[in-house]
């Protein structure tokens, strides 16, 4: 349907609309068999499946990458906090009172 120059459509139950194509539910992506249409989960993007061993391995790798990146973020945050505390303490100790006359 064309409404004011915009194309609009109603997606029927049992179908996904991914990359400009209508795809029936439970259809695998031709380019990556780890992706499948699950219209109840997300009708507009592929859903990851772990039906095959390589899909399970891919999911494990993503989990490991997430943990490593999380640890790096925490380490950087702690390092920045320590440096800020040291800099603040250095400023406080470097101020000397005026000499008494």
21 forms beta bridges with 18
Q: What is the model's pLDDT at position 6? A: 78
User: Buried b / exposed e across 72-96, counting CB within 10 Å, b at 16+?
Assistant: eeeeeeeeeeeeeeeeeeeeeeeee
50-70 pLDDT, tens digit each: 777 777 676 667 777 888 999
9-30 pLDDT, tens digit each: 788 899 999 988 899 999 988 8
Q: How far separated are the first and last CA of the chain, in Å rounded?
A: 90
Residue 95 has pLDDT above 70, yes or no: no
Which position has the higher pLDDT, 32 or 91? Answer: 32
If you count DSSP H runs as helices and E runs as strands, how many of each does the chain have, helices first? 1, 6
Mean pLDDT computed over every residue of the chain: 83
């Amino acid at each position: 349907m064309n409404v004011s120059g915009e194309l609009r459509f109603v997606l029927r139950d049992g179908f996904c609309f991914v990359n400009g194509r209508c795809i029936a539910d439970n259809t695998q992506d031709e380019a990556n068999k780890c992706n499948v249409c699950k219209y109840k989960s997300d009708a507009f993007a592929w859903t990851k499946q772990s039906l095959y061993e390589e899909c399970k391995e891919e999911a494990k790798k993503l989990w490991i990458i997430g943990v490593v990146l999380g640890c790096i973020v925490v380490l950087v945050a702690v390092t920045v906090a320590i440096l800020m505390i040291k800099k603040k303490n250095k400023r406080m100790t470097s101020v000397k009172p005026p000499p008494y006359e």
